[in-house]
C-alpha cells in the first residue's frame, strides 16, 4: 500500500532521523546502567552519562532495544522540544508550535508532569494544566483519525533557569515492572535493584544462585531471567507501542531475535528458601506460571539450618535481603542478626560470592569477611549492598 502523506511525514520527521533518548535510573545504579547500555545489541550509538542516567541518540530501534534489554533503567524518555519561556504567553505559543501529531494519537489520555527549578514560571500545576489543554487542542486539529482504543501518554516537562525541556515517556509503566505476576511478600525488592545486585556480584547465569531469605522471590525471578537469557522487558508492554511511528514489524523482529537466544535450563541452578511457608507456596506458583520450575527450586527452610551441600556441590552466588529495621527492634538486635548471618556464611559457604543488603553501612563490620559497599535506594531509604567473596 502506498504511504499516506502523513506516514511520509512521520518517516521524514521521526523514523528516518536520529532521536535523543534518556534512560533514567535510581541513585546508585548509574554506573551499572551505563555498563548494561554498553552491552546492548546496538550498532553505532553514542551515549553519555548524565545526572540520573544515560543520554543516547539513535533511531527508534534504539529506544525499543533499550526498553527491552535494560534491566536497571527506570524509564526511557524521548526528547520532543526545548525552548525558553519566561511567561505563560510564550510557553503557550512554543507548546502550540510542537508537531504533537508526530508523537501522539488523537483522542488519547495525556498526563503531564512538570518540575521547575530557578525559573520565572514555577507553578507546576498551572504548567501541567496548560500543556494538557494545548496538546489536546493541537491533536484535535492536526492529528489524523486513529482507530482503536484511546492511548495513554506521559509528557515530562523539566524547567531549569527558564528553559523548558519537553520529553515523552516511551516506557509506560516503570521498567521495574517486568510483566510477570508475583506473590507479594514482606518488603519486596524492585526487580531493577535485584538485577543491579546480581550484576554487582558478577552472577553469570551459569552458576548456582541462592537466596536463603527469598520472600516473594525478586532475586530468584530476576536470576532466572538472566540464566534463561530472557530480556527484562520481554513479557511486558510499552508506551511506544502506541506512538504513531511505531513499527509492529520491526518490534516483532526484535522480539523474535531475542526469543531465539533464550536458554531453556531444566536442571536446578537457582535455589530459594524462606522460613515463611505461605510465601513459598505463592512463589512456586509464580515460577511455574513462567516456566521456571525446572531451573528454580524453592523450599521452606530456616537459613540457620541450611548447608549448600543440601542442594549443590558447586560454589556460586548467595544473595540476601534480611528483614531489618523496626521489625527487628533495636539497632543492637539488627547487628546481632547480621553477625549470625555472617558467621553462618563463613562457616558453610566458603568460596561463594555474596551480595547482602545492609540498612546501615556499619553493619559490614559484623561480617567476618572483606566486602565492598555500594550505596543504593530502596523504598526511599538509602541502604547499602555489600559484595565480596566468603573465605
Binding site for ligand SAM (CB under 6 A): 185-189, 212-216, 218-219, 273-276, 279, 302-304, 321-323
Minimal distance in Å, beta carbon 198 to ligand SAM? 12
DSSP characters for 271-284?
A: EEEES-HHHHHHHH
Starting at the edge strand found earlier in the chain, the sheet holding 46-50 runs: 46-50, 53-58, 19-24, 75-84, 163-169, 152-160, 109-117
Residue number, 113 or 360, with CB nearest to ligand SAM: 360
Minimal distance in Å, beta carbon 16 to ligand SAM? 43
| Residue 223 near residue 321, CB atoms below 8 Å | no
Per DSSP, the three-state class of 357 is: strand
For residues 132 and 111, what is the distance between their CA atoms, to the nearest angstrom?
7
Residue number, 144 or 179, with CB nearest to ligand SAM: 179
Minimal distance in Å, beta carbon 61 to ligand SAM? 33
Minimal distance in Å, beta carbon 224 to ligand SAM? 13
For residues 8 and 2, what is the distance between their CA atoms, to the nearest angstrom?
10
Residue number, 171 or 218, with CB nearest to ligand SAM: 218
Starting at the edge strand found earlier in the chain, the sheet holding 381-389 runs: 296-300, 270-274, 209-211, 317-320, 353-358, 381-389, 371-378
Residue number, 177 or 255, with CB nearest to ligand SAM: 177
Minimal distance in Å, beta carbon 348 to ligand SAM? 13
Which of 310, 300, 296 shows the shortest CA–CA distance to 274?
Answer: 300
Burial class of residue 99 in the structure, from the number of CB atoms within 10 Å of its CB (0-12 exposed, 13-18 middle, 19+ buried): middle
Residue 145 is classified by DSSP as P
Residue number, 171 or 191, with CB nearest to ligand SAM: 191
The phi and psi torsions of 270 (rounded to 5 degrees) equal: -120, 130
Minimal distance in Å, beta carbon 341 to ligand SAM? 9
Burial class of residue 157 in the structure, from the number of CB atoms within 10 Å of its CB (0-12 exposed, 13-18 middle, 19+ buried): buried
Minimal distance in Å, beta carbon 216 to ligand SAM? 4
Residue number, 194 or 390, with CB nearest to ligand SAM: 194
Q: Which residue has the cell 538472566?
A: 226
Residue number, 56 or 324, with CB nearest to ligand SAM: 324
Amino acid at each position: 500500500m502506498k504511504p499516506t502523506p502523513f506516514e511520509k511525514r512521520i518517516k521524514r520527521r521521526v523514523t528516518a532521523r536520529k532521536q535523543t533518548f534518556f534512560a533514567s535510573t535510581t541513585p546508585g545504579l548509574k554506573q551499572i546502567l551505563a555498563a548494561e547500555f554498553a552491552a546492548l545489541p546496538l550498532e553505532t550509538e553514542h551515549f553519555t552519562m548524565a545526572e540520573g542516567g544515560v543520554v543516547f541518540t539513535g533511531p527508534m530501534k534504539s529506544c525499543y532495544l533499550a526498553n527491552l534489554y535494560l534491566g536497571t533503567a527506570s524509564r526511557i524518555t524521548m526528547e520532543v522540544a526545548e525552548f525558553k519561556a519566561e511567561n505563560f504567553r510564550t510557553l503557550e505559543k512554543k507548546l502550540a508550535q510542537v508537531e504533537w501529531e508526530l508523537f501522539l494519537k488523537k483522542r488519547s489520555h495525556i498526563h503531564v508532569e512538570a518540575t521547575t527549578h530557578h525559573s520565572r514560571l514555577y507553578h507546576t500545576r498551572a504548567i501541567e494544566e496548560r500543556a494538557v489543554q494545548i496538546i489536546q487542542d493541537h491533536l484535535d486539529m492536526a492529528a489524523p483519525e486513529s482507530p482503536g482504543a484511546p492511548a495513554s501518554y506521559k509528557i515530562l516537562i523539566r524547567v531549569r533557569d527558564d528553559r523548558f525541556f519537553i520529553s515523552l515517556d516511551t516506557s509506560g509503566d516503570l521498567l521495574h515492572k517486568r510483566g510477570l505476576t508475583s506473590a507479594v511478600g514482606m518488603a519486596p525488592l524492585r526487580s531493577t535493584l535485584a538485577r543491579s545486585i546480581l550484576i554487582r556480584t558478577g552472577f553469570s547465569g551459569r552458576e548456582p544462585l541462592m537466596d536463603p531469605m527469598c520472600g516473594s522471590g525478586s532475586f530468584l525471578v530476576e536470576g532466572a531471567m538472566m540464566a534463561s537469557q530472557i530480556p527484562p522487558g520481554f513479557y511486558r508492554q510499552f508506551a511506544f507501542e502506541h506512538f504513531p511511528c511505531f513499527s509492529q514489524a520491526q518490534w516483532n523482529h526484535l522480539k523474535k531475535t531475542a526469543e531465539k537466544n533464550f536458554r531453556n535450563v531444566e536442571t536446578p541452578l537457582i535455589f530459594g528458601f524462606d522460613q515463611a511457608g505461605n510465601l513459598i507456596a505463592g512463589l512456586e506458583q509464580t515460577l511455574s506460571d513462567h516456566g521456571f520450575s525446572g531451573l528454580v527450586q524453592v523450599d521452606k527452610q530456616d537459613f540457620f539450618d541450611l548447608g549448600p551441600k543440601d542442594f549443590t556441590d558447586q560454589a556460586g552466588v548467595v544473595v540476601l535481603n534480611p528483614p531489618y529495621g523496626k521489625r527487628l527492634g533495636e539497632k543492637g538486635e539488627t547487628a546481632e542478626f547480621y553477625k549470625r548471618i555472617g558467621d553462618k556464611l563463613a562457616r558453610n559457604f566458603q568460596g561463594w560470592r555474596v551480595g547482602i543488603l545492609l540498612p546501615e553501612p556499619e553493619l559490614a563490620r559484623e561480617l567476618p569477611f572483606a566486602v565492598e559497599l555500594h550505596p543504593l535506594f530502596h523504598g526511599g531509604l538509602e541502604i547499602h549492598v555489600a559484595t565480596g567473596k566468603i573465605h
